[in-house]
Structure 1
Amino acid sequence: MQIAKNSVVTLTYEMYDAEGNQIDKTEEPIAYLHGGYDNILPLVEEALHGKSVGDAVEVTMSPDDAFGEFEPELVRDEDKDGFPPEVAVGMMFEADDPETGEVILFRVTEVEGNKVTVDGNHPFAGMTIRFAAKVTNVREATAEELAHGHVHGEHGHHH
């Protein structure tokens, strides 16, 4: 079966920065609902369209096509007393953006004295990314998956 709109695609991937350093990879295959559901980066989805089990793709993406440009205003120093006592580098916190009302996910990047530095950028923001993937399975999506807009079951979302 070829990858088409409303198919469930299972794949493994590796991501590399512009210098060729591996920055991420799957430990287990992941599955996503193909066809514009925003479950995977659009250029990767485009490259996978029409592929079959065993096929491999490589896509190099600019920051705008991958995880966005680095936005310095999303790096903030906050008072430590606004965090739990066990705050540590790597912890994630949600905060409302006062301008848009949207929830931003912040990652703690530094804890020093009474200050905690948080970063709302994706860890790969500002990077050119090479995404290398191999298709391990393709199947038709169920009616429930289509209604929910994501994959259920193995390698997918569980309710």
Structure 2
Amino acid sequence: MHVIDGNSVVGISYVLKGEAGEVLDKSSGSDPFVFLMGVEAIVPGLEKALLGKTVGNAFSVSLNPEEAYGQPHQDLVGHVPRSQFPSDLEITRGMRFQCEVAGGIRMVAIREIEGDTITIDANHELAGRSLHFDINVESVRSATAQEISHRHVHHGDECDHGHDH
């Protein structure tokens, strides 16, 4: 029996709820979420709660914002002119898209539209929120040396995602 440690590949089924108990996300029935521990694939508080668990363990954990997606950072909110968007694009409040922010690709949300100025926010949509997870551990195995060096799970015998081995 494998015990979850910092070099495990873990499969979980989960229900994620907000402060009021509203369901924010969940895994699909027979398709667990599979990830590599220790590479920031999940929020830190959930990773910590999984350490030492084994297949079949079911548990719940509540996380404050610092253990989840952190507090929102004002430096991830900015104002851009409407002219930076394609002219035929209908821009609406709440719209989400990918763009380059601080040298990396991030999901960004439109927060406000005031005339020709668009306020965008690159904070995670759950930043600043306390979260509750109901977890079932479905699978645990030791990560391969290749998975650890590549920092993600390889499915089957192939690693088909654009880097050399």
Identity of aligned residues (%): 36
Measured in 2, the distance between the counterparts of 1:19 and 1:151 equals 33
Moved more, 63-72 or 73-82: 73-82
Shift in CA distance, 73/87, structure 1 to aligned 2, threshold 3 Å: farther
Aligned amino acid, residue 52 of structure 1: T
Match of 1:91 among 96, 99, 107: 96
Residue of structure 1 in register with 2:71 after alignment: 69
1:57 is paired with a residue whose SS is strand
TM-score, normalised on structure 2? Answer: 0.78
User: Any stretches of 5+ residues in structure 1 without a counterpart?
Assistant: none
Q: CA RMSD for the aligned pairs? A: 2.4
TM-score, normalised on structure 1? Answer: 0.80
Deviation at 1:13, TM superposition (A): 1.4
Measured in 2, the distance between the counterparts of 1:4 and 1:58 equals 19
Aligned length: 152
User: Any stretches of 5+ residues in structure 2 without a counterpart?
Assistant: none
Residue of structure 1 in register with 2:7 after alignment: 6
Residue of structure 1 in register with 2:110 after alignment: 108
- What does 1:1-159 align with in structure 2 at a 5 Å threshold? 1=1, 2-27=3-28, 28-34=31-37, 36-85=38-87, 86=89, 88-89=91-92, 90-97=95-102, 102-103=103-104, 105=106, 106-111=108-113, 113-153=115-155, 159=161
Measured in 1, the distance between the counterparts of 2:137 and 2:71 equals 29
Shift in CA distance, 108/51, structure 1 to aligned 2, threshold 3 Å: same
Aligned amino acid, residue 20 of structure 2: E
